[in-house]
Structure 1
């Protein structure tokens, strides 16, 4: 089931998302939470940090899984997703390092690296709440447009649009890794609940596709239509560009 939640602005979207995450952790302190990186969830992580500092939520017992990591970047690299999560959330809210799980971007054997993350997901999962962003091309995690869905953890060649979008985080576009290791869409769909955040109008077309009634691996996010519990949080800026949708029926 898809539910669209329209927020006035990015700050409200971040607060709404934080309330959903905090409720999950409060109701089940040992929750397994799937985290996403990128600019969109930064506000969410800031709000969760504030809630933690006020004593409104305790993250000590949660276990975490991140969607993806760049291939070739050590976890201490300034642009690694591990470093991103540690600086934006994990290092601020008392999460035990032993309970943080990431696919490794440094490996000798790519098959083994993927299998190891799959094993961790099976041992600790299923994920109770998965946080997602969405790419302008409809990618979720680093599941890029393709002819078929890949269900499990895998190595992906990043699309040119994704490299272009992520270049702003690097000194030069040539420094952006060309591959990533990512959860597959099957891993994402195994989560009990999913929240997807979209605050920029460039993501409106991708969000629209999720409500299209067409599941197409060339727009990976469309698979979310098959999940039982997905909340899509968008700003007014994005909602205003969602054409031909009966918002009265799907807005929560």
Structure 2
């Protein structure tokens, strides 16, 4: 595991954008795993700007997102499909058919989760997976107690996660209580992982991830077993 420190959220986002940009421009074909939420927002802004200024052709890039809320259609303004188009896909020249997210509105969610893992396998697996981390050390929507062997699955969101995501909705009651999430086993199959953590509220989760016991009670602790993880953070007093 490698640790890169940043003085603030802006610098963290810029450093992350540089890592992803270098991966894109240094590859003939790339499967990029993407995250949503507030942590990577500025990274996407910097990345889109760098790609456009350099006139980078993205026809060789395929993206797979970590998760989607159950019950929200891709057109719903609170869906991660909408978020990704708004914040990144519509700002760059990536072919939309190369962008993949779970379908949270699928009639058969079990079939959808199996098909999502099969699709990732057919693409050849994820080359670089971008992650955030929750206050309870969840990655994607894998809450404490999730099996380390899990593939893409339907998750019951904890009250902590619902409260953390309520700021994106008009009221807490509007936050979906379930999501389709890439599993911990699927995430661990990525060849490289880039994890971003910003703000003092994530300090304990990050410490537990890096130095704590490897346990399903701390989902992100599984990353200690991954051979190629880079953490970029603006949190002080975090060391390897």
Which TM-score bucket, shorter chain as reference? over 0.9
Q: Which residue of 1 aligns with 2:45?
A: 46
SS of equivalent residue, structure 2 residue 211 = coil
| Structure 1 stretches of at least 4 aligned residues deviating more than 3 Å after TM superposition | none
| Stretch deviating more after TM superposition (141-150 or 131-140) | 141-150
SS of equivalent residue, structure 2 residue 68 = strand
Quote the offset at 1:173 in angstroms. Answer: 0.4
- Which whole-Å deviations, capped at 9, do the CAs of 1:208-244 have from their partners, x for residues lacking one? 0122252111110000000000001000xx123x3xx
Q: Which residue of 2 aligns with 1:197?
A: 196
| Stretch deviating more after TM superposition (147-156 or 94-103) | 147-156
In structure 1, how many angstroms separate the alpha carbons of the residues matched to 2:164 and 2:212? 27
Residue-pair matches, total: 240
Quote the offset at 1:56 in angstroms. Answer: 5.8
2:174 corresponds to 1:175: yes
Contact 1:129 1:193 in 2 (8 A): yes
Quote the offset at 1:55 in angstroms. Answer: 1.4
In structure 2, how many angstroms separate the alpha carbons of the residues matched to 1:108 and 1:66? 20
Q: TM-score under structure 1 normalisation?
A: 0.92
Residues 72-221 of structure 1 mapped to structure 2, 5 A cutoff: 72-146=71-145, 148-221=147-220
Contact 2:35 2:132 in 1 (8 A): yes
Quote the offset at 1:57 in angstroms. Answer: 3.7
In structure 2, how many angstroms separate the alpha carbons of the residues matched to 1:60 and 1:122? 19
Change (3 A) 1:147 1:181: closer
SS of equivalent residue, structure 1 residue 211 = helix
- Which whole-Å deviations, capped at 9, do the CAs of 1:26-58 have from their partners, x for residues lacking one? 111420000000000001000011102211643
In structure 2, how many angstroms separate the alpha carbons of the residues matched to 1:170 and 1:213? 33
What residue ranges of structure 2 are gaps of 5+ in the alignment?
Answer: none
Contact 2:31 2:126 in 1 (8 A): yes
2:13 corresponds to 1:3: no
2:28 corresponds to 1:61: no
In structure 2, how many angstroms separate the alpha carbons of the residues matched to 1:217 and 1:19? 32
Contact 1:213 1:225 in 2 (8 A): no
Quote the offset at 1:111 in angstroms. Answer: 1.1
Q: Which residue of 2 aligns with 1:13?
A: 12
Quote the offset at 1:110 in angstroms. Answer: 1.8
In structure 2, how many angstroms separate the alpha carbons of the residues matched to 1:188 and 1:65? 11
Quote the offset at 1:62 in angstroms. Answer: 0.1
What residue ranges of structure 1 are gaps of 5+ in the alignment?
Answer: none
In structure 2, how many angstroms separate the alpha carbons of the residues matched to 1:4 and 1:128? 19
Quote the offset at 1:61 in angstroms. Answer: 1.8
Q: Which residue of 1 aligns with 2:226?
A: 227
Contact 2:21 2:51 in 1 (8 A): no
